[in-house]
Amino acid sequence: MHAEADVVIDTTCATPTDIAARVAARLSRAPRSYAGHVDVLVGGQWGSEGKGNLAFYLAPEYDLLVRVGAPNAGHKVRGHDGVAYTHRQLPSGTRATDSRLLLGAGAVINVAILIREIADCAITAERLAIDPGALIIEERDVERETGLKLAIGSTGTGGGAALTRRIEQRGVPGAVRMAGDIPELLPYIRESASVLEDAHALGGRIFIEGTQGTGLSLLHGSFPHVTSRDTTVGTLLAEVGVPPSMLRRVIVAFRSYPIRVGGQSGPMDGEITWDTIAQRSGLSAELVKDAEVGSVSGNPRRVAEFSWAQLRHSVRLNGATDIALTFADYLDSRNRGARRLGQLTVETVEFIEEMEAVALAPVSLISTCFDGRGPIDRRLW
Ligand code: IMP
Ligand code: MG
């Protein structure tokens, strides 16, 4: 027997799951290497880079759409029906395709907001998986962030306070609730490790959508005007539970003019007004101001000149393979409706060439208008 067997397992000193792991390794027809199955989109500035529409556009190419982070991020997406929807917890590609959805262990969840979004988007329990270890925001977390709104322009949605509790109150019985503890979420609860493994086994492609922007990183941003987590690609992968070796593309998104939320939201070089942008671009000042309120806060945003130093810094921190330029219409209203590079103004093409020179990465996606038909797609992949 021993001589003929491919593998011999001494079951007396192994648990059933140990035995299953060793047997599965021999029987599985999953690919041996998972390299190159994961693409990531992150913000290069202070959030609101228009990642939502980009994620919506790219989503049909993937089998699994993943989000982590908290509902402080609002990702506004124009649907196929032309109607905009702001995602707070679910991936921005949710309404673009019927791909599976995953909220990873690094997700920070407001149950009421998530349940409403699940209903709004008619999501089935089969389609959505939520890691049991995702953190739940409690009412007292929201209350605790009231002061932060004034101090640093926080959205005050309680994510940071919840994460603080997750660390501070380890060992305090009942103090920290996870997604797996919430009866309403039970139909969706599945270990992300097994969801990811299923996706791998089928050779599936995975898309991870970052939230906020590199400039708001707890570690690499302008402390204290930062959010409650690191927002760069390394942490994003860790929060999902995906190793760096699986990465294929890292798309870093930049607006033509970066914004910060209104209020005491921190330093921003070269601050200008929306009127200036309207004047330069030929867009209506009213239209621009109407569009430029926070999708979570509802407050008018601050805006500044494009920062080339920030481009360089964010591209390096994230190891960008691709750049996405959004709001090309703010450079010139004539860029609206352009379907290819050659239809953009000469100055805009020069701007893009300069981005590529500074970033040492191609500008692969260019969005020209929120209500447009999707970005100009120059990807070679
Ligand atoms: P908090 O994460 O809501 O506490 O906010 C911390 C800082 O990050 C504040 O300046 C917020 O305005 C900013 N911030 C948080 N989330 C977003 C976002 O999704 N877009 C833009 N700014 C954000
Ligand atoms: Mg936003």
Q: Whose CA is nearest to atom 21 of ligand 1?
A: 47
Residue 31 alpha carbon to ligand 2 centre in Å: 37
Report the pLDDT value the prediction gives residue 30, as an integer from 0 to 100. 67
CA 168 centroid distance within chain: 26
Report the pLDDT value the prediction gives residue 62, as an integer from 0 to 100. 98
Ligand sitting nearest the alpha carbon of 75: 2
Which residues fall within 8 angstroms of residue 116, CB to CB, at 6 or more apart? none
Residue among 86, 144, 149, 212 to mutate when testing ligand 1 (max atoms within 8 A of CB): 212
Q: Give the CA radius of gyration of the chain.
A: 22
Question: What letters, b where the CB count within 10 A reaches 16 and e where it falls short, cover 336-349?
Answer: bebeeeeebeeebe
259 CA: nearest ligand 1 atom = 21
Report the pLDDT value the prediction gives residue 133, as an integer from 0 to 100. 98
Q: In DSSP terms, which residues pair with 66 in a beta bridge?
A: 102, 208
Residue 130 alpha carbon to ligand 2 centre in Å: 22
Within 138-180, residue ranges assigned H as helices are 139-144, 146-152, 159-168
Listed residue (280, 375, 296) closest to 331, CA to CA? 280
Q: Which residues have CB under 6 Å of ligand 1?
A: 46-48, 72-74, 148, 152-155, 157, 160, 211-212, 216, 225, 227-228, 261, 265
For residues 17 and 298, what is the distance between their CA atoms, to the nearest angstrom? 50
Report the pLDDT value the prediction gives residue 28, as an integer from 0 to 100. 73
Residue 94 alpha carbon to ligand 2 centre in Å: 16
Residue 36 alpha carbon to ligand 1 centre in Å: 31
> What is the sign, positive or negative, of the torsion defined by CA atoms of 22, 28, 33, 35?
negative
Report the pLDDT value the prediction gives residue 216, as an integer from 0 to 100. 98
Residue among 68, 154, 254 to mutate when testing ligand 1 (max atoms within 8 A of CB): 154
Which residues fall within 8 angstroms of residue 173, CB to CB, at 6 or more apart? none
154 CA: nearest ligand 1 atom = 5
For residues 38 and 205, what is the distance between their CA atoms, to the nearest angstrom? 6
Q: DSSP assignment, residue 69?
A: E
Residue 27 alpha carbon to ligand 2 centre in Å: 45
Q: Whose CA is nearest to atom 2 of ligand 1?
A: 227
Q: How many CB atoms within 10 Å of residue 21?
A: 11
Residue type (1 letter), 191: E
Q: Mind listing the pLDDT tens digit of every residue in the chain (381 residues)?
A: 578 888 899 999 999 999 998 888 888 766 778 888 999 999 999 999 999 999 999 999 999 999 999 999 899 999 999 999 999 999 999 999 999 999 999 999 999 999 999 999 999 999 999 999 999 999 999 999 999 999 999 999 999 999 999 999 999 999 999 999 999 999 999 999 999 999 988 889 999 999 999 999 999 999 999 999 999 999 999 999 999 999 999 999 999 999 999 999 999 999 999 999 999 999 999 999 999 998 777 889 999 999 999 999 999 999 999 999 999 999 999 999 899 999 999 999 999 999 999 999 999 999 999 887 899 999 999
Contact yes or no for 84/78 (Cβ under 8 A): yes
Residue 297 alpha carbon to ligand 2 centre in Å: 9
Q: Read off the tokens for 114.
A: 């998530």
Strands 247-255 and 322-326: parallel
Residue type (1 letter), 136: I
